[in-house]
Amino acid sequence: MKRLLLPIGLAILWEILARSPLGDPLYSPSLLQIGTALVALVTSGELVTHLGASAVRLLGGFTIALVTAVPIGLVLGSSSPMKRHLMPMLDLMRSFPSITLVPIAIVWFGIGDLAKGFLVAYACFWPMLLNTMTGVEETSPVLLRAARVMEVGDLALFRKILLPSALPSILTGVRISLAVSVIVLIVSEMVAATSGIGFLILDAERNYLTGKMFAGVLIMGVIGASLNALAQWTERYLLDYRAAA
Total length of the chain: 245
**What does the alpha-carbon distance between residue 243 and residue 245 come to, in Å, rounded to a whole number?**
6
CB of 38 to another protein, least distance (A): 15
> Could you say whether residue 12 binds another protein (CB under 8 A)?
no
Measured between alpha carbons, how far is residue 152 from residues 19, 147, 216 in Å? 71, 5, 53
Scanning 66-74, 136-144, 158-166, 183-191 for contacts with another protein by CB under 8 A, the matching segment is: 183-191
Q: Which of 31, 106, 111, 143 binds another protein (CB under 8 A)?
A: 106
Q: Which of 52, 97, 110, 153 binds another protein (CB under 8 A)?
A: 97
> Could you say whether residue 110 binds another protein (CB under 8 A)?
no
Question: Which parts of 18-77 interact with another protein (CB under 8 A)?
Answer: 27
What is the phi/psi pair of residue 159, to 5°? Answer: -75, -40
Scanning 64-72, 145-153, 159-167, 180-188 for contacts with another protein by CB under 8 A, the matching segment is: 180-188
Measured between alpha carbons, how far is residue 8 from residues 35, 153, 213 in Å? 15, 59, 21
Composition of the chain by helix, strand, coil, percent to 5:
85, 0, 15
CB of 113 to another protein, least distance (A): 19
> Could you say whether residue 202 binds another protein (CB under 8 A)?
yes
**What does the alpha-carbon distance between residue 92 and residue 76 come to, in Å, rounded to a whole number?**
16
**What does the alpha-carbon distance between residue 63 and residue 61 come to, in Å, rounded to a whole number?**
5
Binding interface with another protein (CB under 8 A):
2-7, 10, 27, 84-89, 92, 95-97, 99-104, 106-108, 179-180, 182-184, 186-187, 190-191, 197-198, 201-202, 204-206, 210, 213-214, 216-217, 220-225, 227-228
